[in-house]
Structure 1
Amino acid sequence: MVVLGSLATACLATLIPSVSALLAFPGAEGFGRNAVGGRTGSVYHVTNLNDSGTGSFRDAVSKANRIVVFDVGGTIKIATRIAVSKNIYIAGQTAPGEGITVYGNGMSFSNANDAIVRYIRFRMGKGGDSGKDGITIADGSNMIFDHVSAAWGRDETFSINGAVHNVTVQNTIIAQGLETHSCGGLMQSDYGISLFRNLYIDNKTRNPKVKGMNDFQNNVIYNWGGGGGYIAGDSAGQSHANIINNYFISGPSTSVTAFTRGNANFHGYVSENYYDSNKDGSLNGSPLCAQTSCYSNMAIEPSRFDYPGPTHLLTAPDAVPHVLSAVGANFPARDAVDKGLVAEVQSYGKKGQLISDENAASSGGVGGVVTVSALTDTDGDGIPDEWESAHGLDPRDAGDAMEIGAAGYANIEVYVNSLVPSS
């Protein structure tokens, strides 16, 4: 463990959640792993694809303490930004068909304390508010984003910047920030951001731009542009980051090295980060040297910072196939946009582009998703009859969904978490 000094160590002890606290869901990791979501609240059904009104996604997240389930799948076209309230679990894995895409403007999770967000696509697009992020967090605490697909931000695509405490972004695609800015995003907080097994792709710069307390492990970064890949602070402020077993792969737009704009104020523990720069169609990179010359003049630290890391750390070469198979909102099914992005990476330097309009995306635009009927849920508690009967619950008693079981989760959490893998 790197010693940060008595004051910094004391602050760190108060910021990192207890290991013994209940996980947000099985497989939750990092600084945000103990987010509570809507565990003590109520169930809200999204029953339509409308922009607003009863049964809409906007209405679902407008009030605190809800577990949000989806009776429909498809694309929700939003005209204005959506602000998410506190203690919300967005269970995108419950949507039938190919899941849910929120398209047309951005999302704010500022002060959305204890948010759990899983298996949903947020894609802003050219029609969104100028100068705004696809997903933004400027304040708040205890949030986790898992298997999210984010794309087409007008400013940043997914940006955390401010007094934000204990956030994890894991298994998530951050893609195709729109030109002229074309940014993956800022990840800037002195209070703990974990980035595990994510895919940054087709962003000119900020893949991501990091300041503060950050844990960056097993990520895949592909086809950044001339603005840079991982940007190390570029600031007078102090930063302390783990950068471990990530894989950087140049694409057609890449014209600069993987790490840029570091300085002596950025303290990085680095280990086994691979770089494949030759764009020859094969994955054949090699480890970067563990010296400042390979990491853009950051201060290389001898020991790993004692942050709550991933449970199972992959080697960088093993991280690539794992990320490509599992990343993004891939349940109930991966859609055409994400399939196209993964195919770009699998070209290993031959395919990829920076775009200014989502209709130029590799999938040919927003596209649509297959919709199917939701399973029968007689009591409307968010848990299908078949699952309730098989697990000792009453399909005619709506009150049992929010009852807390022996493991500490509400029964509906046990159901929605059972739909998807725990890693």
Structure 2
Amino acid sequence: MKTRLLIKYMMLIIASVAASAQERIERTPAFPGAEGWGRYVTGGRGGKVLHVTNLRDSGYGSLRWACEQTGPRIVVFDISGTIYLQSDLKITNGNLTLAGQTAPGDGICVADYPVTFACPNIIARYMRFRPGNRMAETEGDGFEPDGLGAVDSRLIIVDHCSISWSVDECCSIYGNRFTTVQWCIISQSLRYGGHSKNTHGYGAMMGGEGASYHHNLLVHHDSRCPRLGERPATGARDTTDFRCNVMYNWSGQGCYGAENMNANIVNNYYKPGPGTIASRAVGYQRRICGVGVNEQEGHEMYHVWARLFVDGNVNPRHPAVDADNWGLGIWQQISDTYRNNPAKYNLDEKRMRLSEPMKYYRVTTHSAADAYSRVLDHAGASLSRDSHDALMVSDVREGTATYTGSGAGNAKGIIDSPYDNRPADAPDNWNPWPVLNSTEAPLDTDRDGMPDAWELARGLDPADPADALLTDDEGYTMVEVYINSLVDHITEAQNEGGTADGDLEYLPDILPSYTVATSTRIPSTWNFGNDITLSNDAGKSYGTRGDYIRLARDVRHTLTLPSRAEIDRIRFEGFTYYSSDSYSDASLTEINGTAYPESTFAIAKNSDISTVPSSFEIKLDEPAADRITFTWQGNNPCVRITLLTSNQSTTAAIGTTVDYPTEGYGYDPAWYTIQGHRLSSEPSVPGLYIHHGRKIIIRK
């Protein structure tokens, strides 16, 4: 059993300019072309620049070393080639940007072991993740790597990555909050790759609370192409937008799942390949999604069916599906067991079928036919597409399956090992991992991630690393402007002819909640990550009870806050630890030095985890920016703590004109964002800025 903690920090973004909707300024996306629910991930923005200088597994200058550092960081590559890991790469420190497009030459591949994002706020672009199964003999039973995984996390965007040769799923990014997987090639999972279930060969797990999957290519998978949902961490909140993807040559279930999911399934291209046609009946070939339902009695999602908007999906082999997405592609894919007894299984087609799409964050949407063309042209690590991705795209275009593994029952195109791709004329030392040639990295004297020549052309100082953090009028730091410029031509070409659809443009900043074991006991300082710690003056330990954290009474607790946080309210919810006559109610008697009478905010001593917990919200006298202190007396409370800020604009009364000082206090000719980032030039887009020490609104 897991216990969900506790400290949640929520910041609602309110438009600084209280005028018409046309004057609102969108938050800075992760990068130009970032779309969907992960559009506003910040990654390493504003942090240090780290250089990967070698292809070793570990040590200074390695990819693992860069990922193990803390704080916001942007990782650039001074070398191309394949990094053969010697153990799993589990990334536990977030606020990270992996800029694979900076590798000079053919790019970067990570091989032999899986990569997992086990933390929030990650941007990964133009990387290759190809573990394979040759380490299975070394690792023994249980070596079942995904290609790339992230589960029960948040704020992740994966763009233009190539993921293949997994023993489990190639891409398992599901059960998270606010994520996007876009423009990726997910290929050739391994059927007899050494999985404990014997056969596997699964493509992808997709879903989450605010999850977008668009313009991806899934090719040559035995099943899960993809599997949508289900994950307890997101449950009924699972909201997934699945559009403009291309699926080719699935042989098993294809796309299925979606239990209790809320989803848009729009403008996808389902192309049966040789393995599909030879191994599956016509019904499976027509599948858009084989929807299931949770049958675990007592589960909160027991017999709760998906709610789906389905439209615009295409199957070139079975054009009848194009005209009847719902009937042939969804409804007839539901098991007869359910459809023949709808009352028993709570199956209601009218409730299940949505007439309008659910709201989703903006995605440039193409027709299914146009998406097919764009994805084949641009998906994957396509700045320098390697021979494997080229083979996959060729198979899709030609309707072929060039290689097949020797495992019993393998459909055409389904392999068991990367070595099944061996050409007939390959030399003895042939390696399935494509050769990625490296060229000389451009000169970067100050090691700020921007080449000297690029800086000089833009009036920056190649001897001053600080200018990497200067911000342009769109909110990108200069080093981001550089790394994004390397692939601007791809971003522009891939989106051509599409329509920027989507209802949502603004995303709350949500720092994570944390999960600890029910029996956890922590010493006097508890570090939750992201600069949040909980400590007390008396060195008392902390523990958990159910979903709540147990606090010591009669001592002052200090909760440190993330940088730039401004908390104006705090909410406590819980019950008391002791119920005997030796203890009284648990009373909150102080917050940040402000005293409260014992009865003002109290939790009754006879309250219990099985009852509805007491709850109260307190407005602070002054917003807290660094820390919050509080003291409980009379009993040990077991509480959840929620920190809130409305982040209200205080500039509603500011006019559109100001008097500029010409000297003295407040005189500064530079322009700044309202967050304090210095701009490299006068802003050209509407918004709220600081100039000459004054807040200025620039309108359209």
Q: TM-score, normalised by structure 2?
A: 0.54
What is aligned with 2:134? 127
In 2, distance between residues paired with 1:301 and 1:414?
41
Structure 1 range deviating more: 177-186 or 255-264: 255-264
What is aligned with 1:22? 28
1:266-415 to structure 2, matched below 5 A, reads 266-277=306-317, 287-295=322-330, 296-297=333-334, 299-310=352-363, 312-331=364-383, 333-349=384-400, 351=402, 353-361=413-421, 365-415=432-482
2:90 is the counterpart of 1:107: no
Kindly provide the CA deviation profile for residues 205-249 of structure 1, in whole angstroms up to 9, marking residues without a partner as x: 111111231111110000111x2221132x4xx211101111000
Q: 1:165: how far off? A: 0.4
The aligned amino acid for 1:54 is Y
Structure 1 range deviating more: 264-273 or 174-183: 264-273
What is the SS of the residue equivalent to 2:212? strand
Q: 1:309: how far off? A: 3.7
The aligned amino acid for 2:88 is R
**Contact conserved, 1:290 with 1:300, CA < 8 A, in 2?**
no
Cα pair distance change 1:274/1:74, threshold 3 Å: same
What is the SS of the residue equivalent to 2:454? helix
1:174-189 to structure 2, matched below 5 A, reads 174-179=186-191, 180-189=199-208
Instruction: Report % sequence identity.
Output: 37
**Contact conserved, 1:268 with 1:300, CA < 8 A, in 2?**
yes
RMSD, matched Cα? 2.3
Structure 1 range deviating more: 210-219 or 143-152: 210-219
Counterpart among 269, 273, 290 of residue 261 in structure 1: 290
2:256 is the counterpart of 1:231: yes
Structure 1 range deviating more: 382-391 or 403-412: 403-412
Cα pair distance change 1:285/1:345, threshold 3 Å: farther
What is the SS of the residue equivalent to 1:177? coil
**Contact conserved, 2:256 with 2:292, CA < 8 A, in 1?**
no
Cα pair distance change 1:367/1:293, threshold 3 Å: closer
What is the SS of the residue equivalent to 2:189? coil
Cα pair distance change 1:128/1:302, threshold 3 Å: farther
The aligned amino acid for 2:67 is V
Counterpart among 263, 266, 271 of residue 249 in structure 1: 271
What is aligned with 1:169? 181
Q: 1:20: how far off? A: 2.4
**Contact conserved, 2:401 with 2:413, CA < 8 A, in 1?**
no
**Contact conserved, 1:359 with 1:366, CA < 8 A, in 2?**
no
**Contact conserved, 1:43 with 1:67, CA < 8 A, in 2?**
yes
Kindly provide the CA deviation profile for residues 35-72 of structure 1, in whole angstroms up to 9, marking residues without a partner as x: 01111210000000111100001111112311000000
In 2, distance between residues paired with 1:15 and 1:169?
25
Q: 1:406: how far off? A: 3.0
What is the SS of the residue equivalent to 2:75? strand
In 2, distance between residues paired with 1:132 and 1:300?
36
**Contact conserved, 2:57 with 2:64, CA < 8 A, in 1?**
yes
Q: Which runs of 5+ in 1 are unaligned?
A: 1-12, 279-283
**Contact conserved, 1:74 with 1:101, CA < 8 A, in 2?**
yes
Counterpart among 133, 138, 142 of residue 155 in structure 2: 142
What is aligned with 2:99? 91
In 1, distance between residues paired with 2:399 and 2:481?
39
The aligned amino acid for 1:223 is N
In 2, distance between residues paired with 1:104 and 1:94?
23
In 2, distance between residues paired with 1:187 and 1:33?
17
What is the SS of the residue equivalent to 1:31? helix
Q: 1:317: how far off? A: 0.9
2:54 is the counterpart of 1:48: yes
Kindly provide the CA deviation profile for residues 252-289 of structure 1, in whole angstroms up to 9, marking residues without a partner as x: 211232335314712211111011337xxxxx896151
What is aligned with 1:116? 123
In 2, distance between residues paired with 1:14 and 1:293?
44
What is the SS of the residue equivalent to 2:483? helix
Structure 1 range deviating more: 399-408 or 21-30: 399-408
**Contact conserved, 1:288 with 1:294, CA < 8 A, in 2?**
no
What is the SS of the residue equivalent to 1:23? coil
Kindly provide the CA deviation profile for residues 173-210 of structure 1, in whole angstroms up to 9, marking residues without a partner as x: 11111112111121132x11101100000111111111
**Contact conserved, 1:31 with 1:168, CA < 8 A, in 2?**
yes
What is the SS of the residue equivalent to 2:365? coil
